[in-house]
Amino acid sequence: MCVTCGCTNAGPHDSHEHVHADGTRHSHSHVGDAHAEHAPAFARAPLREGRLHAPAAPAAPAADAGLVRLEQQILGKNQLIAERNRGWFAGRGILALNLVSSPGAGKTSLLERTLTDLKSEINVSVIEGDQATSNDAERIRATGVRAIQINTGAGCHLEADMLERALAVLQPEHGSMLMIENVGNLVCPALFDLGERAKVVIFSITEGEDKPLKYPHMFGAAEVLLLNKMDLAPHLRFDVARAVDNALSVNPRLEVFRVSAVTGEGLAPWYAWLKGELAAAGRLHGAA
């Protein structure tokens, strides 16, 4: 798991990130130092819409007991910030969704299609997570939607503090929807809560019916499954019913939508789910 492979931040005094604003300037945030520690929650790393770079952290201690302590510290710290993010979203009636998948599942293409179809009806913004490049953020901006790119360097997932700093720049409007496209990986993102309303796992029919059985933690953590690339079904030896059964055997509560970003197949029910969740977020905000 991620805390043993050394891809995540090591601890409060070793962690640091480089923030680049559109490639023209940068600043440093040392999460553990006295100045950053007492800074306001959303003002620790000022940045403009651009890229947030998180370099690889030192490897975890070799001793088993040390690994357990490191895991608890990392996940515990992440959870505290995730809950703070969740409260920030709830107080503004923002629906935040964490999109997760393996590389090549069509996550960005599906997001592009969703934004293109819904941007006239829904106020939406995007946070893109990748190890390198701003390619996906540029694709999203081409749809007319605001987007920020977070680059994790050697890191294999987004963490709650990365999201917190990105929110300080993006400032999604009250009552809007925020799509968070996580790094392509079906392992580590399952462990790290960002404060989102739900994880949405994208699983393409080019990946094999047993993918949910191989990566049960991710499918177990998700609330929605988008079975993507259904337009390729006539050309592949892929058992759709078996794939769905495998996913539901891991998580019987999954809402499953069979979709195609190319043809638009199955997108209407997915959009209806999004609109229902956005309305619920607004009602909860009104009640609060």
**pLDDT digit string, tens, across residues 225-267:** 999 999 999 999 999 999 999 999 999 999 999 999 999 999 9
Domain boundaries, the chain: 62-287
Structure tokens at 221: 């953590």
Under 8 Å between Cβ of 200 and 227: no
Considering only 52-56, 99-103, 191-195, which range has the smallest mean pLDDT?
A: 52-56
Write down the pLDDT at residue 285.
Answer: 63
Residue 73: pLDDT band (50, 70, 90) is confident
Residue 7: pLDDT band (50, 70, 90) is low
For the residues 187-200, what does the mean pLDDT come to?
97
pLDDT tens-digit readout, 20-32: 334 322 333 333 2
Write down the pLDDT at residue 287.
Answer: 56
Write down the pLDDT at residue 74.
Answer: 80
Under 8 Å between Cβ of 139 and 112: yes
Residue 50: pLDDT band (50, 70, 90) is low
Q: Tell me the CA distances in angstroms from 85 to 97, 129, 141, 283, one per residue in order.
A: 12, 17, 24, 19
Under 8 Å between Cβ of 212 and 219: yes
Asked whether the predicted pLDDT for residue 163 surpasses 70, the reply is yes
Asked whether the predicted pLDDT for residue 108 surpasses 70, the reply is yes
Q: In the predicted model, what is the mean pLDDT of the chain?
A: 83
Q: For residues 39 and 286, which has the higher predicted lDDT (pLDDT)?
A: 286
Asked whether the predicted pLDDT for residue 105 surpasses 70, the reply is yes
Asked whether the predicted pLDDT for residue 128 surpasses 50, the reply is yes
Please name the residues in contact with 238: beta carbons below 8 A apart, sequence gap of 6 or more: 205, 206, 208, 209
For the residues 129-151, what does the mean pLDDT come to?
97
Which one-letter DSSP state was computed for residue 127?
E
The secondary structure element, H or E, covering residue 166 is: helix 160-170
Asked whether the predicted pLDDT for residue 12 surpasses 60, the reply is no
Rounded to two decimals, what is the model's pTM?
Answer: 0.79
- The CATH label, of 3.40.50.720, 3.30.428.10, 3.90.960.10, 3.40.50.300, for the domain at 62-287 is 3.40.50.300
Tell which residue, 155, 126, 161, has the closest CA to residue 143: 126
Residue 192: pLDDT band (50, 70, 90) is very high
Helices within 53-106 (DSSP H only): 64-92
Under 8 Å between Cβ of 192 and 157: yes
Structure tokens at 234: 């006539």
Residue 75: pLDDT band (50, 70, 90) is confident
Tell which residue, 165, 189, 234, 235, has the closest CA to residue 18: 165
Residue 13 burial by Cβ neighbours in a 10 Å radius (0-12, 13-18, 19+): exposed
Q: Tell me the CA distances in angstroms from 25 to 36, 194, 236, one per residue in order.
A: 19, 27, 47
